[in-house]
Amino acid sequence: MEKQTLRLPTVDISKAKTHRSEVAQTVVDGLENTGFLFIENVQGLNYDQLYKCCQWFFGLPMETKKTLLRNIWNSKSSNVYRGYFPVSENEPSRKEGFEFGRDVDPNDQTIAPGNWFYEKSVWPNEDGTFLFKKILLETYDYMHETALEILQLAAIGLGIDEHAFEPIFSTRPMSTFRLIHYPPWGQTPPANAVIEDGKVVTTPDHTDSNFLTLLTTFNYKGLEILAPDGRWVELEPRPNTLVMNIGDVFSRMMGGRFKATRHRVIDIGIDRYSVPFFLEPSFDGDIGINFLSKYGSEGPDHVVEKYGPWVMNTMKNVKKFFEYRHLPEF
């Protein structure tokens, strides 16, 4: 069977200031149709260094990585949300990952006790030969700035205030940066990992729960997207380019006008690496429906709703991602 591929609209983010209206329209058109875009020319982003971070971390001895495990896998760990998660042999998701967020002031009295969304990130020890933590924290900032720039462009393309989406990210955003390693299935995969035409997934089809995702694929194939016509198509990778898509919460705020598109990862027979940045609002950020009615759009009134409780329920009880389904209530 001939392989189906999908070509996405491309946003040259370096032109965001000089060709603002034109770039803004490309963003909106892409989000209204495929829900995915290519983002190129991100200032400061070093793809080679980011790939080295993946190689460095996942090449560490398992005993070292185990010290970063979350509590569900390591009872000595106080972390339940940030840190390392291992490959689970009984899941169709065949991946291991390391994730961190932006630490907040531990004395911040506005954060409820036990709110693990804001727990302190954990890091592996370094010997000074490779600046793993420094590179990742700097890259986190580049990703965050790029994501907010894209949201400004989306607002311009919608004809609303350029900064309309920014308030929910201005204080203590819960964004997550994740390194992922997908080992190939070296044995008979579980039945629920085998899909049509004999393909095998390393991540089953899903939509993201968060607001907006910026994904670094390092030119690996394997990412498939559910096209508007109902076909699963492979996304042809592009060097030194981010893949952007939006999650359920942004689509929901927009009444479905922007598409949260289903996607999946296919086993390509070799080790595969990717790095997603998940832009997320603050815990108390208002992600309620009918957002555009605040800016004069016809239809039902906006309904205020906090992001934290919504996404916690979605991760634990709706989507039940294996790495999050055991998170405690608070």
Could you read off the pLDDT of 53-68 as tens digits, one per residue? 999 999 999 999 999 9
CB 13 within 8 A of CB 41: yes
208: closest CA among 279, 309, 257? 279
CB 215 within 8 A of CB 244: yes
How far apart (Å, rounded) are the C-alpha atoms in residues 75 and 250?
Answer: 35
Predicted local distance difference test score (pLDDT) of residue 322: 67
Q: What pTM was estimated for this model as a whole?
A: 0.94
State what percent of residues in the chain have pLDDT above 90.
75
95 three-state secondary structure: coil
Q: What is the mean pLDDT of the chain?
A: 92
**Fold exhibited by the domain 5-319:** Jelly Rolls (2.60.120)
Region 145-170: mean pLDDT is 96
For the cut 70, the answer to whether the pLDDT of residue 330 exceeds it is no
